[in-house]
Amino acid sequence: MLEVAQLRDFAKRYTAAWCSREAASVAAFFAPNGSLSVNGALAAGRGAITDVAQGFMTAFPDMELQMDDVRIEGDRAVYHWTFIGTNNGPGGTGHRVRFSGFEKWRMGEDGLIAESQGQFDSADYQRQVERGVEKSRLEGRN
C-alpha cells in the first residue's frame, strides 16, 4: 500500500487524468490486467477501462471530476469523487448532472490500481440525466 502522501498524489493525478478527457490516460493508472467495476459492471484490462472512461467523456464532453477525499481503509484505498457535467454527447439530454461516488482500490505491487470497485447512486444519476440536477433535487424534496 502507498503511504498517505503518495496515495493523495496518485489520486490527484488520477483525477487530472479524468479531467484531461483522454480515456487512455485514465487506464494508465491501472495495472495492465487491472479491473474497474462500476456499480457491478466489470471492465477488465486497460482496453476495457479505456472504453468505460471514454463512455463518460463522450456522454459528458464538459465533464469535470473532483476529488473529495482519499484514505486508507484496511488493505484498500478509498477514493471519493464528485462528477459534474452536461449530457451533451450524441443522443444526450442536454441536462446537467452532479453526483458523487467512490472507488475502493486494491493497489498492485507496481503501485498501480489492480482492482477498483466503483459505486454511485445509479437511480439519482438517471434522474439527473433525464431531468437535470436542479429539477431532480427539487423533486426529491417533495
CATH number of the domain within which 48 lies? 3.10.450.50
pLDDT given for residue 19 in this prediction: 97
Can you give the pLDDT at residue 132? 92
Residues 6+ apart with CB under 8 A from 55: none
Decide if 138 contacts 60 (C-beta within 8 A).
no
Give the contacts of 11 (CB within 8 A, at least 6 positions apart).
67, 70, 77, 79
Closest CA to 113 of 35, 56, 43: 35
Closest CA to 98 of 87, 115, 114, 82: 82
Q: What's this model's pTM, rounded to 2 decimal places?
A: 0.92
Q: At what angle do helices 122-131 and 133-141 cross, to 10 degrees?
A: 120
Range of the domain at 89: 4-141
Return the pLDDT at 112. Answer: 97
Per-residue confidence (pLDDT) for residue 86, from 0 to 100: 97
Query: What is the chain's pLDDT, residue by residue, as a tens digit (142 residues)?
Result: 568 899 999 999 999 999 999 999 999 999 999 999 999 999 999 999 999 999 999 999 999 999 999 999 999 999 999 999 999 999 999 999 999 999 999 999 999 999 999 999 999 999 999 999 876 565 554 4
Q: Which three cell numbers stand for residue 55?
A: 463512455
Q: How many Å apart are CA 48 and CA 122, to the nearest integer?
A: 20
What's the number of domains the chain is made of? 1
Specify the pLDDT at position 41. 96
Give the pLDDT score at 135: 67
